[in-house]
Structures are given as C-alpha cells and as structure tokens.
Structure 1
Amino acid sequence: MIDSLITSKTRVKLLLKFFLNPENRSYLRELADEFGESTNSVRVELNRLTDAGLLESHDEGRTKLYKANTKHPLFPEIRAIVTKTLGIDQLVDQVIKRLGNVELAFITGDYANGIDSGLIDLVLVGEIDRAYLQSLIDKLEKIIERKIRVLVLKRDELQALRDRFEGHVLVIWEF
C-alpha cells in the first residue's frame, strides 16, 4: 500500500529501515549493499528525506550516518503508516530470501486462531541459516513487541508432526 503512495522503492525501503526501528543508524554504502541498489539512488533519497527533516545525519569520522528524526512533527504518523503497511507477508518475503532454502513458513497456535496472546508460533520448513534466523527474531521481537517461538523442521519431520498442529494454520510462505 505504501508503494502506491510513494513511488520510489528506495524511499520506501529507507522509511521502513529508519521508521520501524528509530534506533537504526546506517551509512550510504551499507544501505546500498543492504538494498541491492546503487549508491547514487540511495544518496538521492537520503538527501531528499534529510532535506525534508525526516532523517538526521551526522559525520562520524569520514562516514556520514543517518537516522530517523524522532523530533519531527510527522514522525509518529509516518511510523504508524509504515508499521501498518508492513504486513507479515512483506516482511517474511524479504527475510526468507536471506534465510536459505525455505520451503514452507506458517504460523500456528493462538495468533493463527486470531488471538493476540503476545506469543507467535512460527514454523519454518527447509534448510535454514539458524544464526541469521536468531538475529532476525531478536530484532523482530523488539519491533513488534511480541515473543516469537520458532520451530525449524525438514520436510520429513513436518510429515511426522503434521497432526500435532491443532486449530488453524496461517501459511505465510510456500515454495
């Protein structure tokens, strides 16, 4: 939804990066590498957002670091828009590409049944980079203020445990 309002994909990525977690601080090359974009396209959008007062920048040695301007009058509204438009499917899509060979991802338990108990049960099937997964879970728990319990299975393990997943299952990724 946000990309229909903001046509620059780079600007959307920057807003997501800085407004989901206002503690994020990044520099130009790091952002370009993370987004898989040219430094020039990222620089243009950083300059626009900084000129608008939405981002702050400061020099640290020879590096210019950027972060969200939490004192900007529109900060709470922009953050609310960003968090509302970033659905689980969009987040999972970006994350799964970096996790490894994910065949299936689904949510089960209370959250899949429409009950927000503060605990999200996530099941991933495939060959997963567990160290990267744990770093993502740690960050995501802070952002969404919920605990995430993850179970990583291989395809044959899923078949053996399929009956144990009671109630609704919310499939969020299938390859």
Structure 2
Amino acid sequence: MERNIDSLFGSKTRVKLLNLFFNNPNTNYYVREITRLIDEQVNSVRRELSNLQEVGIVVSTNNERKLFYTLNHDFEYYLPLRAIFSDEPMLLKRQNTDDKNSNYWDDKLSLVLDYINVFIISGRLVEDSTSKVDMIIVGDNKDNKLSNWANSLEESMNKQLNYSIMNTSEFYYRFSTKDIFLNSVLKNKYKVILDKSNILGKE
C-alpha cells in the first residue's frame, strides 16, 4: 500500500511531507527541522516543499530570518488529503449550516479535535430550530482553547453566538440527570456534529 501511495503522488519525500503536515495541521516547520523529522535530503525537501506550495497545499511565512511552512486549511482538497494522510480518523459528522458547504464543520473542528469530545449546534445554526442556544461545546478548555475557538467562529460567521462550554464529566452528568438547560436544547431541533464517545447514542 505504501509503495502504491508513493507511486500515486510521485515522490517518497512528498508522501512523507504530506504525512507530516496532515498529522500536525497547525504546526509551523522550517526546512532543516523537516529534513530531520522525515529523514530525507535537504535538497529533496526544498524541491517538494516548493511543489506543495505552488499547488497550494502548504503556505510559507518568514519569521526571525527563517522560512516556515504550514498546512493550508483553505486548500480545495484539504479534507480528501487529510483522509488519506492523517492518522486521526475522520470522526466528524458533516452537516450544513446556513450557506456553508458540507465540509465546513470538518474543517473547523480539525483545529480543536484533540480538545473537543462533543459538539452540538442548534438555534440560529440549524434551520427551523427555535432554541436560544446555538452551540454546546464539550471538552477540555485548557488555556481557553475552546473559548478562543468559539470566538473565532463568531468572527468568521460575523454573528454573536449563544454557546455553552462544559467538560465531559459535567456534560455526561447533565445528560444523565436530564438537566433543564441541556434538555431544553435536546428537545428542540439540533444537530450532533461530533460525539466521540457516542454519549448521545447518535449514528
């Protein structure tokens, strides 16, 4: 299988680069660092980085006289390539919201996939929902990772969202005791975008 992938993408170095970037989608790397990590010659790495940048898979920035490369999340075929090269399973359930395409939440959640366990949308993000809550975000909000992510969603949508962030234990307790707040959301129209532990029993 590995040999077939190498043949398909034309270069062993290119395949190693794609594996590196799609398994570390938010990390910036400089050339010498990449060379060590994938154990390939620097000239080969430079050549393939140039190819990937020309296609649009990676972008580069200058910082402290070093050229850094990182994955381009806006690349047209980001999700198909992620499915091929990332070791992280595609756990996300694709849903439409407003005028966004079906890959919208896959892309957004990829930024916090290590921190978030359950993600529910309702209210203004779901057609015909009358809920006053737009998002329920469940996971580890260490260093305000999820709070900052929610703020970035508001900015990208250009709207203020009503959301609640809670850890997994709190969410499970509220769900199991039919908490009034959570129950009010789940009795309304909503969509489960992510449920890693299948707490809600959704397919």
What's the TM-score once normalised by structure 1's chain length? 0.52
Q: Please give the per-residue CA displacement for 1:61-81, whole angstroms capped at 9, x wherever unaligned.
A: 43114589xxxxxxxxx7677
Q: Residue 131 of structure 1: CA displacement?
A: 0.6
3-state SS, counterpart of residue 113 of structure 2: helix
- In structure 2, the residue matched to 1:46 is 49
2:179 is the alignment partner of 1:160: yes
CA-CA distance at 1:127 after TM superposition: 4.6
Asked whether the equivalents of residues 120 and 147 of structure 1 are also in contact (C-alpha less than 8 Å), the reply is no
Tell me the CA shift for residue 43 of structure 1. 5.7
The percentage of aligned residue pairs carrying the same residue is 16
What SS does structure 2 have at the residue aligned with 1:113?
coil
Partner of 2:122: 108
Superposed displacement of residue 142, structure 1? 3.2
CA deviation after TM superposition for structure 1 residue 132, in Å: 0.6
* Map of 1:10 onto structure 2: 18
Cα deviation code 1:52-99 (max 9, x no counterpart): 58877565443114589xxxxxxxxx767778463213432x245321
- For structure 2, the residue ranges without an aligned partner over 5 or more in a row are 1-7, 10-14, 79-99, 198-203
Distance 2:112 2:60 in 1: 31
Scaled by the length of structure 2, what TM-score is found? 0.46
Classify the secondary structure of the residue corresponding to 1:98.
Answer: coil
Aligned to 2:94: none
Answer yes or no: is 1:28 the counterpart of 2:29: yes
Higher alpha-carbon Rg: 2
Task: Work out which structure has the larger RCO, using CA pairs closer than 8 Å and 6 or more positions apart in sequence.
Answer: 1
SS in 1 for 2:119: strand
- Give the Cα separation in 2 of the matches to 1:127 and 1:53: 32
Name structure 1 gaps, 5 residues minimum.
1-5, 18-23, 69-77
**What amino acid sits opposite 2:106 in the alignment?**
D
Q: 1:43 to 1:111 in 2, by over 3 A?
A: farther
User: How far apart are the structure 1 equivalents of 2:193 and 2:60?
Assistant: 36
The amino acid across from 1:48 in the alignment is N
Distance 1:79 1:53 in 2: 6
Supply the distance in 1 between the matched residues of 2:158 and 2:77 (Cα, whole angstroms): 17
Structure 1 Cα separation of the partners of residues 107 and 56 of structure 2: 27
Superposed displacement of residue 109, structure 1: 1.0
* 8 Å contact from structure 2 (residues 120, 137) kept in 1: yes
State the one-letter code of the partner of 2:174: E
Deviation per CA, 1:26-64: give whole Å up to 9, x if none: 84249x89xxx8486986653113445887756544311
More helix by share: 1
- 1:138 corresponding residue in structure 2: 151
Which of the pair is proportionally richer in strand? 1
Q: Distance in 2 between matches of 1:55 and 1:66?
A: 6
Residue equivalent to 1:62? 65
